[in-house]
Amino acid sequence: MPDETVQSGLSDKNAGALAYITIIPAIIFLVAAPYNQSSYIRFHAWQCVFLHIVWFAIGIIAIIPILGWIIFALGAIVLLISWIFCIIKALNGERFKLPFIGNLAEKQAGV
């Protein structure tokens, strides 16, 4: 279970969920104290960064006509659902690992 509050007054659960909103809060949470001292927040911030890298990769795949468009459409739906699911799990105080990138996030967060 994550710590209930960090020194700023923003709970770990809220900061973990906020990390997923865009990549900007995730990067801020990785470099700014006291957020970068919580393994819970670091995990969600890193998972968000890796999720955005996957979004970028399927965006590049979308350049390929027809097959790329199909892969992009399916990938975008899966990533959107995963993104919403991660926000909900973070708000509930759970450290939900997405396949493949969850292990990378754990390793980077030092969990």
CB atoms within 10 A of CB 60: 10
The answer to whether residue 1 is domain-embedded is no
What is the per-residue pLDDT across 8-61, written as a single tens digit (0 to 9) for each?
A: 568 999 999 999 998 999 999 999 988 999 999 999 999 999 999 999 999 999
Q: CA 24, CA 17: separation in Å to the nearest integer?
A: 13
The answer to whether residue 111 is domain-embedded is no
CB atoms within 10 A of CB 26: 25
- If one compares 68 and 3, the residue with the highest pLDDT of the two is 68
> Residue 96 contacts by C-beta under 8 Å, 6 or more apart in sequence?
85, 86, 89, 90, 102
The answer to whether residue 5 is domain-embedded is no
Q: CA 111, CA 92: separation in Å to the nearest integer?
A: 19
What was the pLDDT predicted at 15? 93
What is the per-residue pLDDT across 89-105, written as a single tens digit (0 to 9) for each?
A: 999 999 999 999 999 99
**How many structural domains does the chain have?**
1
For residue 61, give its domain range.
Answer: 12-105
